[in-house]
């Protein structure tokens, strides 16, 4: 973390390259110490690839209804069976991955940007700014995230944008907290002092000197919170506040499966498993990344 | 010692089996599971909703009633009135009331005053959702304690239907209604075999037997009417014996499966609810008749019936449900023809198709129909955006005229006049002072509907109704889709006390004679 003082003389490009290769090496080392992280990464990549290739690998159009084949169990024609409208479950799962990942990624990106901004500003300026910002975050944190999301979606109406806003808002406070505490420590360090005496602006100090140093921790939190975001999206869809029909979403599929659970128990099982796999893989991945940046655990990778 | 043990055990066993047989004999509580989240409004003059009608049916009487188990006005028989007579042209009716009928909860004897009050209340748009049906009512007066006279501005197709135990015909007790005012829906008071006991929001309504009921003490002592919106939960509760009677799914698969539950009786009964897609003819792009026709050509009725199965569903034939007095089969429906639909859209200036919006309930029975419609419309280049909302919100939003396309499923009193007036007369347009349920802002056949109502000659009247149906269809104010019969299941140890063929109130009637067999 003291890198920026060490090679002040290098070009910015070079600095970034060194930082990246260091980070990558550390990450691989940590991943090796905890082999399950590779499993997490692998599973997650599979889901990402499936989502990206959904339109090519899906056997059917996910919203095409084959009414004469409705509520069928797994068969050669429909590998995972069909739903109440005779839509192919497998294709819907593939396309559903897109929505889940999209909402998960977007909302967490928004939460990271907004949350770390608030956290860094609060930590950097301290005093009254800190008090007001962090108390506001505490108020938001007091709401269970699902309830908060539910209120927002109910007010704005269900659409992808609104879901992203709602889920992002529930995830902002934890990122603000994560960003604030290291900022408090780093702003007292010599290189910040040095920057200040050189007349750097607050914005420059925060953006170019503090942020890069706390980013790894934030990104680790990001992968863990993405799992939560995907679960919240599914929960909202389950209670009917998800993306509008007929767009396939995993939560919506579980809801439909639940309505027809006595006619086709498999309907709720497949999307349930899909959510399980994604959340599981993100958690494994997050754990591995956390080990990678945790100085206390860093030594262990090298045996 | 051993002998003692055996004896005690035997005694205990005997006691237990005796107790259980005693319990079995005493099964007098009927638990009903209805597929809705919550009550709509427990005032019988306010709510036309399926979710409340069953309760009204068990709690209230009309001047006349349709025989329990029937849904056809042919079976009208005395209820609160013992006899009635009308003058030659049918504009003045006299009813002789049954004596000694008691209102629930000690509100005293029901007399002609109560009848006058109740009918006037039902005809008052401020206090009733059915005021529109009483348009022809000139006056109602009490001649003496047990006689009332109803005067009409003009003869109407079915005055007895209007005064039966249905919608505005349900008689409320004056003293109670006046005392409670707007809170009447919190404790509705009538004269029926069962009386209101408690309501727990989103949980249940509890009714208890009215021992003073004029047809005799009800054998069922208590009815617990539970709100169980999830189909699966309701089915499981029924299979496990937790509830004795459930609101079913209008779906062949459901009917087949439920019939296999041990001790279950599945009843598929009249009347059918007609699912219609109402198109607001005043907003873009639906104001263009070619667009409305395109939508009509894009809907495949046979496909909808295929989804839900023939056991409880049939294709609609007109904008008036099949079998209603005045229903006409000779009304040309626009056939399913996606090519024609696309052609019409192109002609109307939308070669790339259109996007239309609807606010729709999440109630599975209706939502599934709408998702198939959505898929069918897509084939013809019509993108239907569905905004899903909870059922009660749906009902209020469509009445605020917020949804250009409204999917509504309803059964009404089986006379064409009621359906035509409620859904297609310009006076009934939503978001107006005289609103009922004209979601399409239709005004294509106002003259015919009005003329038919006042027409004394039955054949001429039918001809007018036929013209009205043709005109409305030609204007495509609404697209009739499917008709779904009522589906209920109950345990075979429940003897309703009559043969169940139907009920206009959409649930099996429970009478004083209904009981559990052993």
- What pLDDT score was predicted for residue A77? 86
Q: Is the peptide bond before A246 cis (omega within 30 degrees of 0)?
A: yes
Q: What domain range includes position A162? A: 99-287
Average pLDDT over residues B129-141: 89
Contact flag B257-A65 (C-beta cutoff 8 Å): no
Give the 3-state secondary structure of residue B418: helix
Residues in B closer than 8 angstroms to A260, CB to CB, are 231-232
Task: Determine what percent of chain B is predicted with pLDDT higher than 90.
Answer: 78
Chain B interface includes A6 (CB < 8 A): no
A169 found inside a domain = yes
pLDDT tens-digit profile of B38-79?
998 999 999 888 899 999 999 999 999 999 999 988 899 999
Query: Is there a domain that residue A15 lies in?
Result: no
d(CA B502, CA B514) in angstroms, rounded, equals: 16
Question: Does the beta carbon of A73 lie under 8 angstroms from any beta carbon of chain B?
Answer: no
pLDDT of res. A9: 60
Q: Which of B:215-274 have CB within 8 Å of A?
A: 230-232, 235-236, 253-254, 257
Per-residue pLDDT at B19: 52
| CA angle centred on B52, ends B50 and B53, rounded to 5° | 65
Q: Is A263 on the interface with B (CB under 8 A)?
A: yes
Structure tokens at B117: 């009050």
- A86: in domain: no
Burial state string for B400-422 with b = 16 or more CB within 10 A and e = fewer than 16: ebebbbbbbbbbbbbbbbbbbbb
Tell me: the pLDDT tens digits for B155-174?
887 889 999 999 999 999 99
**Phi, psi (degrees; rounded to nearest 5) at B42:** -90, 15
Q: Which of A95, A72, A99, A100 is nearest to A85 (CA)?
A: A72
Residue A185, Cβ neighbours under 10 Å: how many? 13
Q: Which residue of A has its CA nearest to B229?
A: A259
**Residue B473 pLDDT exceeds 80:** yes
Rounded to two decimals, the pTM is 0.82
* Interface ipTM > 0.85: no
Distance CA A21, CA A37 (A): 19
Domain ranges in chain B? 30-263+492-516, 271-485
DSSP string for A62-123: TT---GGGTT--S-SSSTT-B-TT--BHHHHHHHHHHHHHHHHHHHHHHHHHHHHHHHHHHH
Mean pLDDT per 10-residue segment, chain A (303 residues): 53 73 73 79 93 92 85 87 90 93 94 94 91 92 84 84 90 92 89 88 86 85 90 88 86 89 88 94 86 60 40
Give the count of domains, chain A: 1
Among candidates B402, B384, B434, B420, which has minimal Cα distance to B124? B434
Compute, in degrees rounded to 10, the torsion defined by CA atoms B239, B242, B247, B253: -10
CB contact under 8 Å between B364 and A158, yes or no, is: no
Of B306, B378, B388, Cβ closest to residue A244: B388
Percent of chain B with pLDDT over 70: 95
Whether residues B253 and A63 touch (CB distance < 8 A) is answered with no
3-class DSSP string for B438-476: ECCCCCCCHHHHHHHHHCCCHHHHHHHHHHHHHHHHHHC
**Host H or E run for residue A190:** helix A190-197
d(CA B260, CA B107): 46
- Compare CB distances from B231 to A158, A245, A259 and report the shortest one's residue: A259
Q: Is A264 helix (H, G, I), strand (E, B) or coil?
A: coil
Closest CA to B404 of B511, B323, B516, B291: B291
* CATH at A198: 1.10.3720.10
Chain B residue closest in CA terms to A86: B307
pLDDT top residue among A30 and B280: B280
- Chain centre distance of CA A190: 34
What's B109's DSSP letter?
B
A222 part of a folded domain? yes
Tell me whether A61 touches chain B (CB under 8 Å). Answer: no
Overall CATH class of domain B30-263+492-516: alpha beta
Q: Is B10 on the interface with A (CB under 8 A)?
A: no
| Same fold flag, B30-263+492-516 and B271-485 | no
Alpha carbons B14 and B510: distance in angstroms, whole number:
35
Topology annotation, domain B271-485 = Dipeptide-binding Protein; domain 3 (3.10.105)
Residues 6+ apart with CB under 8 A from A219: A112, A289
């Amino acid at each position: 973390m003291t890198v920026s003082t060490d090679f002040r003389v290098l070009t910015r490009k070079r600095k970034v390259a060194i930082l990246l290769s260091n980070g990558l090496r550390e990450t691989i080392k940590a991943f090796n110490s905890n082999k399950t992280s590779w499993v997490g990464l692998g599973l997650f990549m599979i889901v990402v690839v499936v989502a990206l290739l959904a339109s090519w690998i899906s056997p059917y159009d996910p919203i095409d209804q084959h009414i004469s084949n409705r509520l069928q169990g797994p068969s050669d024609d429909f590998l995972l069976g069909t739903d109440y409208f005779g839509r192919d479950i497998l294709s819907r799962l593939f396309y559903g991955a897109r929505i889940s990942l999209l909402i998960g990624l977007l909302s967490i990106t928004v939460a990271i940007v907004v949350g770390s901004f608030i956290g860094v500003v609060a930590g950097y300026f301290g005093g009254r700014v800190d008090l007001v910002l962090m108390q506001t975050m505490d108020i938001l944190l007091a709401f269970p995230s699902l309830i908060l999301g539910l209120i927002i979606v109910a007010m704005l109406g269900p659409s992808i944008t609104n879901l992203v806003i709602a889920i992002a808002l529930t995830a902002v406070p934890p990122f603000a907290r994560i960003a604030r505490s290291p900022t408090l420590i780093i702003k007292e360090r010599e290189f910040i002092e040095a920057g200040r005496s050189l007349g750097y602006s607050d914005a420059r100090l925060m953006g170019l000197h503090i942020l890069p140093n706390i980013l790894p921790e934030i990104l680790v939190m990001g992968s863990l919170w993405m799992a939560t975001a995907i679960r919240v999206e599914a929960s909202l869809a389950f209670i009917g506040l998800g993306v509008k029909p007929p767009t396939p979403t995993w939560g919506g599929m579980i809801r439909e499966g639940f309505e027809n659970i006595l006619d086709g128990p498999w309907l709720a099982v497949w999307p349930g498993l899909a959510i399980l796999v994604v959340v599981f893989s993100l958690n494994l991945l997050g754990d591995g990344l956390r080990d990678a940046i945790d100085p206390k655990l860093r030594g262990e990778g090298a045996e | 010692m051993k002998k003692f043990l055996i004896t005690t055990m035997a005694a205990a066993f005997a006691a237990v089996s005796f107790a259980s047989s005693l319990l079995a004999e005493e099964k007098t509580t009927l638990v009903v599971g209805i597929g809705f989240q919550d009550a709509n409004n427990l005032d019988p003059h306010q709510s036309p909703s399926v979710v409340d009608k069953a309760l009204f049916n068990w709690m209230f009487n009309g001047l006349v009633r349709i025989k329990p188990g029937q849904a056809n006005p042919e079976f009208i028989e005395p209820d609160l009135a013992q006899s009635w007579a009308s003058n030659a042209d049918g504009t003045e009716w006299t009813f002789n009331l049954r004596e000694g009928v008691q209102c629930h909860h000690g509100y005293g004897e029901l007399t002609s005053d109560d009848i006058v009050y109740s009918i006037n209340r039902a005809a008052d748009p401020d206090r009733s959702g059915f005021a529109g049906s009483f348009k022809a009512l000139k006056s109602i007066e009490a001649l003496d304690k047990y006689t009332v006279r109803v005067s009409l501005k003009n003869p109407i197709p079915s005055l007895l239907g209007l005064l039966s135990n249905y919608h505005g015909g349900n008689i409320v007790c004056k003293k109670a209604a006046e005392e409670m005012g707007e809170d009447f829906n919190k404790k509705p008071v009538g004269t029926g075999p069962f009386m209101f006991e408690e309501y727990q929001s989103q949980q249940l309504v509890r009714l208890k037997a009215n021992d003073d009921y004029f047809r005799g003490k009800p054998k069922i002592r208590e009815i617990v009417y539970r709100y169980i919106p999830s189909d699966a939960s309701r089915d499981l509760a029924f299979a496990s014996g937790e509830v004795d009677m459930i609101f079913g799914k209008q779906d062949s698969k459901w009917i087949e499966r439920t019939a296999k539950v041990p001790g279950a009786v599945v009843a598929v009964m009249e009347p059918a609810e007609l699912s219609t897609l109402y198109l607001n003819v005043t907003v873009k792009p639906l104001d263009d008749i070619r667009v409305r026709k395109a939508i009509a050509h894009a809907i495949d009725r046979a496909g909808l019936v295929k989804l839900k199965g023939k056991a409880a569903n049939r294709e609609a034939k007109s904008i008036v449900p099949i079998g209603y007095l005045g229903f006409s089969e000779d009304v040309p429906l626009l056939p399913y023809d996606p090519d024609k639909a696309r052609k019409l859209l192109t002609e109307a200036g939308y070669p790339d198709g259109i996007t239309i919006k609807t606010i729709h309930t999440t109630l599975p029975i209706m939502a599934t129909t709408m998702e198939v419609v959505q898929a069918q419309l897509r084939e013809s280049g019509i993108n239907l955006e569905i905004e899903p909302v909870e059922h009660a919100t749906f009902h209020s939003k469509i009445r605020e005229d917020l949804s250009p396309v409204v999917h509504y499923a309803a059964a009404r009193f089986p006379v064409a006049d009621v359906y035509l007036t409620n859904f297609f007369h310009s006076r009934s347009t939503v978001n107006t002072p005289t609103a009922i349920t004209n979601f399409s802002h239709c005004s294509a056949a106002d003259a015919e509907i009005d003329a038919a109502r006042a027409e004394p000659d039955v054949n001429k009247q039918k001809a007018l109704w036929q013209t009205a149906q043709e005109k409305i269809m030609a204007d495509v104010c609404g697209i009739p889709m499917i008709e779904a019969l009522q589906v209920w299941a109950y345990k075979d140890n429940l003897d309703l006390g009559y043969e169940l063929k139907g009920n206009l109130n959409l649930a099996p009637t429970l009478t004083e004679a209904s009981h559990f067999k052993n």
